[in-house]
Amino acid sequence: MKIGFYTSTFNDRPAEEVIGFARDTGFDAIELDVRGHIKTPENVAPVVAKAREAGLFVCSITLFGNQLDPEPAQRQTLHKATSEFAQAIGEAGVPILVIFPGRDRTSPEEDNYAGFAAHMNQLIADTAASGLQFAIENWPGPNDDFIGVTPEGWLKLFSLIPSSRFGLEFDPSHLIRLGIDPYAALDLVKDRVKILHGKDTSIDPERLQTIGYHAKGWWRYRLPGSGLLDWPRFIAQARGFGFDGTISIEHEDSDYGWPGKDLAARKEGERKALAFLREVIGSR
pLDDT by residue for the chain (284 residues), tens only, comes to 999 999 999 999 999 999 999 999 999 999 999 999 999 999 999 999 999 999 999 999 999 999 999 999 999 999 999 999 999 999 999 999 999 999 999 999 999 999 999 999 999 999 999 999 999 999 999 999 999 999 999 999 999 999 999 999 999 999 999 999 999 999 999 999 999 999 999 999 999 999 999 999 999 999 999 999 999 999 999 999 999 999 999 999 999 999 999 999 999 999 999 999 999 998 54
The torsion angle over the Cα atoms of residues 13, 8, 191 and 81, rounded to 10 degrees, is: -90
Cβ partners under 8 Å of residue 203, min gap 6 = 176, 177, 218, 219, 228
Q: Which of 143, 169, 158, 160 is nearest to 63 (CA)?
A: 169
Q: Which of 23, 93, 72 is nearest to 4 (CA)?
A: 23
Map residue 158 onto helix, strand or coil: helix
Determine the angle formed by the axes of helices 231-240 and 263-283, rounding to 10 degrees. 60
At residue 44, the pLDDT reads: 98
pTM of the model: 0.97
Contact between 133 and 95 (Cβ < 8 Å) = yes
Map residue 97 onto helix, strand or coil: strand
The torsion angle over the Cα atoms of residues 19, 23, 26 and 29, rounded to 10 degrees, is: 50
Q: How far out from the chain centre does Cα 28 lie? A: 17
Q: Please give the DSSP secondary-structure letter assigned to residue 9.
A: G
At residue 235, the pLDDT reads: 97
Beta strands in 43-192 (DSSP E): 57-62, 96-99, 133-137, 166-170
Quick count: other Cβ atoms within 10 Å of Cβ 118?
A: 12
At residue 283, the pLDDT reads: 57
Q: What separation in angstroms does the CA of 110 have from each of 93, 116, 190?
A: 34, 10, 25
At residue 284, the pLDDT reads: 44
Q: Which of 106, 110, 109, 104 is nearest to 141 (CA)?
A: 104
Contact between 174 and 181 (Cβ < 8 Å) = no
